[in-house]
Amino acid sequence: MILVTGGFGFIGSHTVRALLDLGEDCIAVQRRAHELPPVLDGTRVKVERVDITDRDALLAVGRRHTITGIVHLAGSYPWPPVPDAPVEATRKALDGLLNVTQAAQEWGVRRLGIASTIGVYVGTDNSAPLREDAPLPMTAPASIPTFKKVGEMLGGFIADTTGLDIVDYRISGTWGPLGHPDPFFAAPALIHAAARGTDPDLSHLVHPAFAEDGLDLTYVKDTGRAIALLQLADSLNHRTYNVGTGRATTNAQISRAIRKSVPDARVDLPTGGAASHLVLDISRLKEDTGYQPEYDTERAAADYIAWLRAGHDS
């Protein structure tokens, strides 16, 4: 049985669904009480309401269930940043990560997977697809990549000293059902505007959006399936894996894909933007799991718009 922290979250719920579809039993661990996400309706998923920063409560889950693997997707970072209590926020973030690794050790799980981010590559040479063995700068521009770098280093130390099989997922920009307005890319906001027939609200973005801005964007169903394949692989040859599409998707491409489903969508963005894009090399992922992305931009946009028009809020 695979335990997924953050199992009702955006990527978490799709990962649980992918694991179930591959024949695994799953426990979704969630800090707050929520209704079952729509993507899990009718499934056999078990649910445990546990705050992973509560070590005793988390360890007790292993006394109620036989846990064979852990996928750790709950946020191990303070987001949004907490400027008035940074030390306490940092302590809670690290407590969650360390509690999960302690649980993995005590339960004797086969593999512990931990979510990282494409953001760890910011500041590296991105003139070619980014490989997992690229040297990373010691600094980071925001809390998420900062804590993910720390988490990767701590995970490596724990794996080396305990023998735990710990795998890091460097996840690309991800969009799709149950997502939210992302502060770093415009695709979800453009999709929501098209589905509602309104102008897109991009006020939440960290930087203004331009047509030529791009990023390795992965539809969440592909992200969840990639993580599930990494968790279930008989053996892995590496500790770190990029999870993405291996190509850049620009806002202009998103807009064109949207218009295939909604011809009158008001999703044009001004020209301009960054000439270079963060793109992940996913050779390791393909070679060790057989993964191939199933959703190109056009199929993803159509699927997401249909989901929203079916009455879902996100």
| 53 lies in the same domain as 147 | yes
Residue 295 in any domain: the answer is: yes
pLDDT at residue 26 tops 70: yes
**Side chain identity at residue 85, one-letter code:** A
Dump pLDDT digits (tens) for 101-119.
999 999 999 999 999 999 9
pLDDT at 81: 57
Three-state secondary-structure class, residue 34: coil
CATH number of the domain bearing residue 229 = 3.40.50.720
Identify whether 314 is part of a domain: no
Asked whether residue 126 is assigned to any structural domain, the reply reads yes
Distance of CA 227 to the CA centre of its chain: 9
3-state secondary structure of 14: helix
**20 and 144 housed in the same domain:** yes
Q: For 125-150, what is the mean pLDDT?
A: 92
Number of domains composing the chain: 2
The per-residue pLDDT for 77 is: 62
Return the pLDDT at 76.
Answer: 65
pLDDT digits (tens, 9 = 90+) for 149-206: 999 999 999 999 999 999 999 999 999 999 988 888 999 999 999 999 999 999 999 8
Cα(51)–Cα(58) distance, integer angstroms: 7
Based on the fold, state whether residues 162 and 265 are members of the same structural domain: no
Q: Are residues 276 and 158 in the same domain?
A: no
Q: Are residues 169 and 249 in the same domain?
A: no
Q: What is the pLDDT of residue 228?
A: 98
Which pLDDT belongs to residue 181?
A: 84
Residue 144 domain-assigned (yes or no): yes
- Give the pLDDT of residue 90: 86
- pLDDT 10s digits, 72-87: 999 766 555 556 678 8
Give the number of other Cβ atoms within 10 Å of residue 185's Cβ.
Answer: 23
Query: Domain span at residue 94?
Result: 2-173+218-243
With a CB cutoff of 8 Å and minimum separation 6, the contacts of 252 are 211, 212, 269
More confident residue, 86 or 25: 25
Euclidean distance between CA atoms 220 and 12, whole angstroms: 10
pLDDT at residue 31 greater than cutoff 90: no
The reported pLDDT for the residue numbered 32 is 81
| Dist CA 254 CA 185 (whole Å) | 11
Whether 101 and 228 map to the same domain: the answer is yes
Q: What is the CATH number of the domain that holds 269?
A: 3.90.25.10
Does 225 share its domain with 264?
no
Helix-strand-coil percent breakdown of the chain, rounded to 5? 40, 15, 45
Q: What is the mean pLDDT of residues 217-235?
A: 98
Most confident region among 81-95, 241-255, 269-283 by mean pLDDT: 241-255
Whether residues 143 and 59 share a domain: the answer is yes
* pLDDT (tens digit per residue) in 269-297: 999 887 789 999 999 999 999 999 999 99
Residue 216 CA to residue 174 CA, distance in Å, equals: 9
- Say whether both 235 and 111 belong to one domain: yes
**Under 8 Å between Cβ of 46 and 26:** yes
Residues 152 and 180 in one domain: no
The pLDDT confidence band at residue 28, using thresholds 50, 70 and 90, is: very high
Please choose, from the candidates 203, 296, 310, 192, the residue with its C-alpha nearest in 3D space to the C-alpha of residue 253.
296
Question: Is the residue at 51 inside a domain?
Answer: yes
